[in-house]
A and B are shown apart, each in its own frame.
Chain A
Amino acid sequence: MEQKQALFNYLLRLGDNAAILGHRLSEWCGHGPELEEDIAIINTALDLLGHARSLYTYAGEVEGKGRDEDDIAYLRIEREYRNALICELPNGHYGDTIARQFLFDQFNYLLFSELVNSTDETVAAIAAKAIKEIRYHLRRSTEWTLRLGDGTEESHNRVQQSFHDVWMYTGDLFVQDESDKAVIEAGIGPDLTLLYPVWQDKVKEVLKEATLEMPENGWMQSGSKQGRHTEHFGYILSELQYMQRAYPGCEW
């Protein structure tokens, strides 16, 4: 595969992870379980949208067809989005959101810790900026996992179920294809198969401390690298893209 195309695909995936999870988190705005938490989760969403903007802008430059961050964010169809499936899952109750966030943050933290050393200067610069924020996200979602898991019987049981429910989407985070291989060879991004055991250990450690059981690996849903989404994704796009579809090119 051509190097440029592989890098473009890679940047889209990173950008889509951030944009779609950021959008999901933003749905909590005004609905958080308490004021501080409402503010915290929206700030996390804002950080992620910031990462998405930098990554989309660079993806547009690499592609070289004159697309900017907005074109990439708003004017693609469903199959062209390449975010990991876990990012698009509905918010559910707060335990569901925390389980999804903790598992993703742990992945994102390991990934960006490596991207800081990317041979691609722009990727390294974006990662150096983002990692400081992702470290904060991980600390927060870890604390909430402990609080809910080692909380009341009710919170323990519910968040345990959340981890079971989301588990089948974790395998998709580590799937690699031709673009990944090209990116790994060029030293732009890390080999995810090397990150997987570290991710597992870290997750296990926190779940144990939270008195939660680590779900067993069963059927893993995948497909994000080919743009095959869950049934929830179309609804996100219809909201996210409404303005650009109804009023093409609108700005404010």
Chain B
Amino acid sequence: MNEKELWNLLDEVMDPEIPVLSLVDLGVVREAKLANGNPEITITPTYSGCPAMKVMEEDIEAVLQGAGFDEYRIKTVLSPAWTTDWITEKGRKALQEYGIAPPEQATSDKNVLLGHPKEVTCPHCKSRQTKMLSQFGSTPCKALYQCNDCKEPFDYFKCI
């Protein structure tokens, strides 16, 4: 196995809370190397208290063991701090299709300037007429929004 294949293997490991998003697309896997044929993986938490880190590590171990690796190292680093900019285009699309609004990137909307919540597009009907219900959603990385048009509540992946 080469390093590209190792990355492809890791791309099969899904986020335990958002099962359509791989850890690679989420930007949690920072490095994947082979040292004398043994994988050395570096991961970083999305949030300091993210309770899914342990599960992520175990899921990576399971995939590595499944591929026949007996010896490997998984290291957790805090720096540089994870940012939503690391979510890949493929990951953003997967979030959208799953019903979670991906983090808004360019901040041209004036709400942010005035200290109001960001304009977020509804992942269901694509309306921009949405409102924030709570700064925190079902996990620390998400906020809770509602669409004023289709009335559906939805999770928004917070931009950090």
* Residue ranges of A at the interface with B (Cβ–Cβ < 8 Å): 36-37, 39-40, 43-44, 46-51, 53-54, 121, 124-126, 128-130, 132-133, 136, 139-140
Contacts and interface: CB of A to CB of B under 8 A. Distances in A.
Interface residues of B, number: 23
Contact of B48 (A37, A47, A139, A140): A47
Nearest to A42: B136
A124 B79 contact: yes
A111 B139 CA distance: 26
Contacts of A36: 133-134, 136, 144
B47 A133 contact: yes
B63 interface: no
Contacts of A37: 134
B71 to A, nearest CB: 24
Contacts, number: 68
Interface in B132-148: 133-140, 144
Given A40-B136, A48-B49, A51-B48, A125 B160 contact: no
Contacts of B82: 129
A121 B48 CA distance: 17
5 contacts: A39-B144, A47-B47, A128-B79, A129-B79, A133-B140
Which among A37, A39, A129, A133 has the greatest number of chain B C-beta atoms within 10 A? Answer: A129
A136 B143 CA distance: 11
Contacts of A129: 45, 48, 78-79, 81-82
A39 B137 contact: yes
Nearest to B160: A132
B19 interface: no
Contacts of B81: 125, 128-129, 132
